[in-house]
């Protein structure tokens, strides 16, 4: 069974619920985002004793937020960040999310995230959003970062992925790094079980490189990531770094592997330095 077959099954299931075209940017519901951000901002900041810094660094116009991915499928730091951006800048700077077509077609999840601004992850969709001055968020590390072991919770794990650099260069938009510390401690991934994912051919079926052994509330020890769990109330620190503009832009720069690698190293090293600093600060404040 190929990934396209899985996608078609999800589409058929979504036929019984409200279904959205994942290749359109007009699914986003600003009124829903307004209500949600106002409702969740203070409770989430209180529960996680969260701090969000550097939101004033966000430039106007199109931009590419690049974040480290945490907490498996739950990702409370993403909601904390978006709510704070909305509070400070309004809905225009709240990012659209580029999502894998299988992930954003999962029934119920599809109905939740599409009105919040999820679209299919493709260069065409990103180009359309940037051309209208919108902001987009990507998590280059994907499942390897979101489900990295607890022992690597203070590390940026992008797995050598550099497509986000090529996207920024082609579209001539700044990269706006967003670093989050603490969210990956809301549950515990004991091991990412890459060997098990390879054994099950999950990369072929679902483009998943890991199938982690996880400890969470209330499920306890599970093989595989829980879609939802009760997050432990650990302190979360989020910092927006100054936007990064590169010296070269355009298709020629995006196709220069050496230059792309150089740009990726610059972004990842800045993000890792901030993650290390925030992680040490969390430990002092606990």
pLDDT over 60 at 270, yes or no:
yes
> Which pLDDT score, from 0 to 100, does residue 10 have?
60
Q: Which two tokens stand for residue 237?
A: 């620190």
pLDDT over 60 at 118, yes or no:
yes
C-alpha to C-alpha distance for 79 and 192, rounded to whole angstroms = 24
Domains of the chain, earliest start first: 3-186+237-285 (3.40.1130)
pLDDT bracket for residue 1 (50, 70, 90): very low
> What integer is the mean pLDDT of 154-159?
97
pLDDT over 60 at 5, yes or no:
no
What CA–CA distances, in Å, run from 84 to 38, 57, 58? Answer: 9, 13, 12
Considering only residues 16 and 263, tell me which one the structure prediction assigns the higher pLDDT: 263
Burial of 249 (0-12, 13-18, 19+ CB in 10 A): middle
Q: What percent of the chain has pLDDT over 70?
A: 94
pLDDT bracket for residue 101 (50, 70, 90): confident
pLDDT over 90 at 104, yes or no:
no
Under 8 Å between Cβ of 71 and 77? yes
> What integer is the mean pLDDT of 256-283?
98
Considering only residues 283 and 41, tell me which one the structure prediction assigns the higher pLDDT: 41
> Which pLDDT score, from 0 to 100, does residue 156 have?
98
The model's pLDDT over 19-70, given as tens digits with 9 standing for 90+, comes to 899 999 999 999 999 999 999 999 999 999 999 999 999 999 999 999 999 9
pLDDT over 60 at 260, yes or no:
yes
Under 8 Å between Cβ of 52 and 80? yes
> Which pLDDT score, from 0 to 100, does residue 215 have?
98
pLDDT over 70 at 9, yes or no:
no
What 3-state class would DSSP assign to 3? helix
183, 47, 110, 226: CA torsion to nearest 10: 60
pTM of the model: 0.92
Rounded mean pLDDT of the chain? Answer: 93
Helix (H) or strand (E) holding 181: strand 175-181
Categorise residue 250: left if φ over 0, alpha if ψ from -120 to 50, beta otherwise: left
C-alpha to C-alpha distance for 138 and 128, rounded to whole angstroms = 15
pLDDT bracket for residue 286 (50, 70, 90): low
């Amino acid at each position: 069974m190929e990934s396209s077959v899985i996608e078609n099954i999800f589409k058929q299931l979504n036929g019984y619920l409200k279904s959205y075209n994942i290749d359109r940017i007009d699914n986003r519901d600003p009124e829903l985002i307004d209500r949600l951000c106002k409702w969740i901002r203070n409770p989430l900041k209180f529960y996680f004793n969260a701090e969000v810094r550097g939101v004033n660094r966000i430039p106007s116009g199109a931009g590419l937020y690049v974040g480290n991915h945490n907490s498996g499928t739950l990702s409370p730091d993403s909601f904390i960040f978006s709510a704070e951006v909305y509070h400070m800048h309004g809905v225009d700077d709240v990012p659209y999310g580029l999502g894998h077509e299988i992930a954003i077609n999962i029934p119920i999840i599809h109905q939740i995230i599409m009105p919040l601004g999820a679209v299919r992850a493709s260069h065409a969709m990103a180009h359309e959003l940037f051309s209208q001055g919108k902001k987009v968020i990507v998590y280059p590390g994907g499942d390897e970062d979101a489900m990295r072991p607890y022992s690597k919770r203070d590390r940026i794990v992008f797995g050598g992925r550099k497509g986000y650099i090529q996207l920024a260069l082609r579209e001539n938009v700044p990269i706006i790094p967003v670093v989050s510390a603490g969210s990956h401690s809301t549950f515990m991934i004991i091991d990412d079980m890459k060997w098990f994912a390879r054994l099950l051919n999950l990369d072929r079926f679902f483009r998943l490189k890991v199938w982690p052994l996880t400890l969470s509330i209330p499920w306890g020890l599970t093989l595989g990531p829980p879609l939802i769990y009760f997050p432990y109330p650990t302190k979360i620190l989020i910092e927006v770094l100054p936007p990064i503009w590169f010296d070269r832009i355009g298709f020629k720069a995006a196709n220069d592997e050496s230059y792309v690698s150089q740009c990726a190293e610059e972004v990842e090293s800045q993000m890792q330095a901030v993650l290390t600093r925030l992680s040490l600060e969390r430990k002092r404040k606990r």
